[in-house]
Amino acid sequence: MKRETRELLPSYVKKIGWGVVALMLLLFVLHSLEVESFNFMTTYSAIFECITLVALFLIAFSKDKDEDERTMVLRGKAYTTSFLIGIGYFIAMKILYFLNSNSLQDTSIFEFMLMLFFWYFATFWILKHTN
């Protein structure tokens, strides 16, 4: 029985993704420091959020330089773990928001997706370095 393989992006796409994330982080820092020429970010914040999420997607779904079956298994475990943590977080935040809606803000989709990518990258890194 032939095992089904997942198609991933080439490994050089990961470098492009990290470059875009670094650029978006630099723009965010410059905007936070209230540099006058970077005030356009408030107007186009949704575009910057989408670009950041696409860059993180490119990083998550691109091959490692030494991609093998072990890496694919670890990648699957990391996807599963981040999904379960994300669902648990989402349910817990909705319950807390329902119980005390005066003091909590509802989590934005961008924040939720950032958290999912964070857990995926952290879990994948830990699995790769402990096994």
Domain match, 87 and 30 both: no
CA neighbours closer than 13 Å in the CB half-sphere of residue 95: 6
Report CA 43 to chain centroid distance, whole Å. Answer: 23
DSSP string, 78-107: HHHHHHHHHHHHHHHHHHHHHH-TTT-PPP
Domain match, 40 and 68 both: no
Residue type, 74: L
- For the cut 70, the answer to whether the pLDDT of residue 1 exceeds it is no
Q: Is residue 2 part of a domain?
A: no
Domain match, 59 and 102 both: no
**Using CA atoms, how far apart are residues 82 and 123, in angstroms rounded to an integer?**
8
Domain match, 54 and 95 both: no
Strand partners, 9: 62
Domain match, 102 and 40 both: no
Domain match, 94 and 125 both: yes
pLDDT value of position 28: 81
Quote the domain boundaries for residue 125.
64-131
Domain match, 79 and 122 both: yes
Domain match, 30 and 55 both: yes
- Predicted TM-score of the model (pTM): 0.78
Domain match, 27 and 39 both: yes
What mean pLDDT comes out for the span 27-34? 77
Q: Is residue 103 part of a domain?
A: yes
Of 63, 81, 103, the domain-final residue: 63
7 vs 82, residue with greater confidence: 82
What mean pLDDT comes out for the span 21-47? 76
Domain match, 81 and 35 both: no
Farthest-apart Cα atoms in the chain, separation? 61
20 vs 36, residue with greater confidence: 20
Q: Ranked by mean pLDDT, which of 12-16, 31-35, 103-107 comes out on top?
A: 12-16
pLDDT digits (tens, 9 = 90+) for 88-123: 988 888 888 878 766 666 678 888 899 999 999 999
Domain match, 77 and 28 both: no
- For the cut 80, the answer to whether the pLDDT of residue 31 exceeds it is no
Domain match, 127 and 72 both: yes
pLDDT digits (tens, 9 = 90+) for 35-86: 666 566 666 778 888 999 999 999 999 988 888 888 889 999 999 999 999 9
Residue type, 113: M
pLDDT value of position 93: 82
